[in-house]
Amino acid sequence: MIVPRINLAADSYAENLKTLSLLPNQVLVVPTPNDSRLQDALKHQNKDAYWVQPLAFDAEDPLAQIHTLLDAGADKVVLPFAAFAAGVESYSHIPQERLAVELDPANFDKVNHLQNTVSVFLLKVDGSSESLEAVKKTAQAMPKDLLPRGGVKRVIAAFSGQGPTSTPETATISELGRLGIDTLLPGEALSSDQQKGKLNLGEAFMATVVSDRPDKLFPTVVVDEQGISLGLVYSSLESVVESFRTRKGVYFSRSRGLWHKGASSGATQDLIKVHVDCDSDALQFTVHQHGAGFCHNNIRGCFGFATGLAHLNQTLQSRKISAPAGSYTQRLFNDSNLVQSKIMEEAEELCQAKTPEDVAWEAADLIYFALVKCVANGVTLRDVEQQLENRSRKITRRPGNAKRKWDVSAKEGATTATAAPAPAATPAPASVAKSDRIAMKSYKMGALSAEDQRKLLLRPIIQSNDIMARVKPIVDGVRERGDAALQELTAKFDGVQLDKTVISAPFSPESMALDEKTRLAIDQAYDNIKKFHAAQLQDKALVVETMPGVVCTRFARPIERVGLYVPGGTAVLPSTALMLGIPAAVAGCSEIVIATPPRKDGSIVPEVMYVAHKVGASKVLMAGGAQAVAAMAYGTESCPKVDKICGPGNQYVTAAKMLTQIDSSSLVSIDMPAGPSELLVIADMTSIPAYVASDLLSQAEHGTDSQVVLVAVGLTPEHLTAIEDQVHEQASRLPRVDIVRESIPKSFIIQVDSMEQAMQFSNAYAPEHLILHLEHAEKHVESVNNAGSVFVGHWSPESCGDYASGTNHTLPTYGYARMYSGVNTDTFLKHITSQQLTRDGLDAIGDTVMRLAEIEGLEAHRNAVAVRIKDIRGQ
């Protein structure tokens, strides 16, 4: 069997699609999954089984794009081996028959690793005979087991179109076929005509088809678009080649030789698709039949008249063209209101039917009137079947609840059951009645569709466009008017009228006066955090001699001026000042500015002032929110401009950080985007309910937009209930219970059966904080790929990392842990590279540099080396 690969970015893709549409499968290569040409091809496919091969995926969420392609109608998605490098577990929810992999010769030994994940192995033939032999050897060694849902795994030799064996001859295709190997080749290498330099499409297709008959003919079953048999004929190699050329039904007749069906009677056939049976010794032609039918007896098929829906469809089609006088069907075609009324009437009667006989009767009535509407609007029965087939290809399942208008149970006062309630797409109401139980939503992984699971990964929605629109005038005001704007905004948002906006070091002792217990606590936290962050500092430069006489160096230098944002809001946060100030001081930043909102009396909390003193801050900016970020990004009369801004904050602070970062006039960078606090706990039966609940609440109390998640691994109903009871009981006793009442309903429990499922979900969620309440928890840390910070075991509450263990608590949220690290010493460093070449080193590398510069057309680059090489070589 041959499979063509069609590049949708090529100018000739539309012509290739049409020419090769007769084949059972085609691989469509696209730059990205969102390519409009692909969407159009999938939208208009008819009995096609397209395998889609994107050259690049969205790095943030490739699985979501794979789901979208499969839902859109792709029969399979072809992935590179690199997509499975992190493990096959991420693909376990996708049916095996919907995935294919393309392997380079270097990865042929990985086929066993993917045996239970993909159904098709495309083994690259790189242009050498050795790689073709490697394909044969790999295919012969593979197990010949069936797929879980039926069918067999396929091995395909993927020819690239480059190299000595770039396009195989039909003899090679035939040889591979005898070994059970299909052939993939560039679509442009095939032609339905006899073109020089191209393989004939019909001959290439028939290269793997065998005949055990003395006359070498091939039994051919002819079917219509619905798969209904029209008759049995025979084909020869010549007739198949002619069928591919003309796209008509052409067969072999003992009396006529080459037989163009319907050439004399007018009952011609448009060829739609050609298939080979599982033994490769018989053909199936799918055709659109014209005229009275296929049979010489002037009926549609040789096995008798059509029956059932096919017969009804034919009758309605003929009635539309020519109806007998007084025909009821003709009346329906002329009265759309009558059709609508009858459909509604019959649907109601079907709903009311009770006995099997009545259900069948009423269903027949409804189908009749539905088909009348279809035919009246030019819709064939095949069009309807195509819609059903498209839906069967979807892997994302919807709840499928009735619309409110038709929800019978709702009208009767009952609760409609749903297979898996989707998580809320919008934040919970602003307030919750205090008498309500404080409870998280709960889901079972096994009951969730892939789409429902994806929705659970989403955080409560933040309307970023609205926030940006509110933040921009604030940022612009501070940039243009400096301290005056800062004072006005502080009075507006914090209710404080300030005489000055900045406190400069040295700070007065009274501004940082603390009780002994608080001071000792801050000092111990300071020592632990400093010890851990100092250990991250690399004292020596990296020096590598890449080749004799060429030495490359990488060394770190501190970012000179940094701004640290310490939120105020609903809590006093000296810990954040420690987490930001200590690594900045360890890195050696020459100027540290701390921004934090003032209290109502215009002062800064002494705990933050004390930390500012300990980390060597030069100034404390008495401002919060977007205005503080703008002041540090652009500078004001009293606040120095900084080079980098770090620190957490609400959505307005985050928006201001991102807004100033993309403004080239500010020349400022940021640590990371940040969102509301979040935490994910993975707990098994060894977990202690009170500990689990306390950890969940430790983040839920941060703010109404916080989210916490419990991944319950094989917990019994009793154990899970104990945790839920503890959440309610402990939350009810908290001073910040009103905040928890709003954040907990936005949080959820997800019940899974295994640690593999738990880790898969956690890595997809990418939490800010991850707590492992597990037996032998330390063994599972190696499975963590995405998280801001991990807390291992029952005795490692997240609170310790927040305050004093030594790790940093300024961490990526909102899923950004997939690509961002938390704040660390390197956050406040920049790395510079240098290189030094000797005379001999330049002589050795000079030709390479000059050639590459010449290729890129940068003559001055080439010349800078050439003038030196001339002196070295005395030319």
Chain segment 730-759, per-residue pLDDT in tens: 999 998 898 999 899 889 999 999 999 999
CATH architecture of 2-206: Alpha-Beta Barrel (3.20)
Rounded Cα distance between 387 and 378, Å, is: 15
pLDDT for the residue numbered 325: 67
Q: Please identify which residue in the block is written with the tokens 């934040």.
A: 427
- Taking the C-alpha atoms of residue 859 and residue 872, their distance in angstroms, rounded to an integer, is 20
Which range, of 250-264, 517-531, 605-619, averages the lowest pLDDT?
250-264
Cα 390 to Cα 398: distance, rounded to the nearest angstrom: 15
Q: Are 776 and 793 in contact (CB under 8 A)?
A: no
- Placement of tokens 């000797």 in the chain: 838
CA distance linking residue 588 with residue 598, whole number of Å: 27
pLDDT at 371 over 70: yes
Residue 48 confidence class, pLDDT cut points 50, 70, 90? low
DSSP type of residue 403: P
Cα 508 from Cα 307, distance rounded (Å): 97
Region of residue 647 (left: phi > 0; alpha: psi -120 to 50; beta: else): left
Please report the DSSP string for 177-194 in residue order.
Answer: HHTTEEEEEEGGGEESS-
User: What mean pLDDT value characterizes the chain?
Assistant: 88
Let me know: does 745 contact 429? Beta carbons within 8 Å. Answer: no
Cα 6 to Cα 50: distance, rounded to the nearest angstrom: 10
Position 67 scores a pLDDT of 87
pLDDT at residue 692, as a whole number? 96
Query: What is the percentage of the chain residues whose pLDDT exceeds 90?
Result: 57
Which of 83-87, 639-643, 701-705: highest mean pLDDT? Answer: 639-643
CA 343 remoteness from chain centre: 41
Q: Are residues 176 and 157 in contact, defined by beta-carbon separation less than 8 angstroms?
A: yes
Higher pLDDT, 51 or 325: 51
Amino acid, res. 442: S
CATH entry 1.10.287.1080 includes domain 308-392: yes
Mean pLDDT, range 775-785, rounded to an integer: 96
* 506: preceding bond cis by omega (within 30 degrees): yes
CA 488 to chain centroid: 45
Helices (H) and strands (E) in the chain, counts: 28, 31
Is residue 751 a contact partner of residue 712, using CB atoms and an 8 Å limit?
A: yes
**How many beta carbons lie within 10 A of that of residue 388, not counting itself?**
8
Read off the pLDDT of each residue in 518-540 and give the average, rounded to a whole number: 95
Query: How much is the pLDDT for 299?
Result: 84
Q: Residue 540, Cβ neighbours under 10 Å: how many?
A: 7
Determine how β-strand 561-565 pairs with β-strand 550-558: unpaired
Q: What is the pLDDT of residue 461?
A: 58
3-state secondary structure at position 626? helix
Span 150-177, mean pLDDT?
A: 82
The mean pLDDT value for 82-95 works out to 80
| Position 328 confidence tier, pLDDT thresholds 50, 70, 90 | confident
For residue 47, name the pLDDT band (cuts at 50, 70, 90). Answer: low
Domain spanning 678-821: which superfamily? Nitrogenase molybdenum iron protein domain (3.40.50.1980)
Q: How large is the average pLDDT for residues 46-55? A: 80
Dihedral angle computed from the Cα positions of residues 499, 503, 506 and 511, in that order, rounded to the nearest 10 degrees: 80
Which pLDDT score, from 0 to 100, does residue 40 have?
A: 81
pLDDT above 70 covers what percent of the chain? 92
> Which of 201-210, 396-405, 671-680 tops mean pLDDT?
201-210
Ranges of each domain in the chain: 2-206, 218-289, 308-392, 464-670, 678-821, 838-873
2-206 and 218-289: same fold? Answer: no
pLDDT for 408 equals 59
Strand partners, 595: 565, 621
Burial call 274-283: b when 16+ CB within 10 Å, e when fewer:
bbbeeebebb
CB contact at 8 A, 594 and 618: no
Average pLDDT over residues 94-104: 90
Task: Indicate if the pLDDT at residue 420 is higher than 50.
Answer: no
- Select the more confidently predicted residue: 293 or 588: 588
- The mean pLDDT of 294-320, rounded to a whole number, is 82
pLDDT at position 27 is 92
Residue (of 623, 678, 608, 619) closest to 653 by Cα position: 623
Give the range among 12-21, 177-186, 613-622 with minimum mean pLDDT: 12-21
Q: What are the two backbone dihedrals, phi and then psi, of residue 132, each rounded to the nearest 5 degrees?
A: -65, -40
pLDDT class of 409 with cuts at 50, 70, 90 = low
How long is the chain? 875
CATH topology of domain 218-289: Ubiquitin-like (UB roll) (3.10.20)
Say if residue 411's pLDDT is above 60. Answer: no
CA R_g for the chain: 35
Q: Kindly report the number of other CB atoms within 10 A of residue 649's CB atom.
A: 24
d(CA 693, CA 840) in angstroms, rounded, equals 67
What ranges make up the beta strands (E) of 17-66? 25-30, 49-54
CA 363 to chain centre: 41
The predicted structure's pLDDT at residue 758: 96
pLDDT for 676: 82
Compute the average pLDDT of residues 216-241.
93
Q: In 255-331, at which residue ranges do the beta strands (DSSP E only) sit?
A: 257-260, 269-276, 283-289
Neighbours of 404 (CB within 10 A): 8
Q: What is the pLDDT of residue 44?
A: 67
**Chain-centre distance of CA 558, in angstroms?**
37
Average pLDDT over residues 526-541: 94
Catalytic residues: 768-769
Q: What is the pLDDT of residue 435?
A: 43
Contact 728, 437 (CB under 8 A): yes
CATH class of 464-670: alpha beta
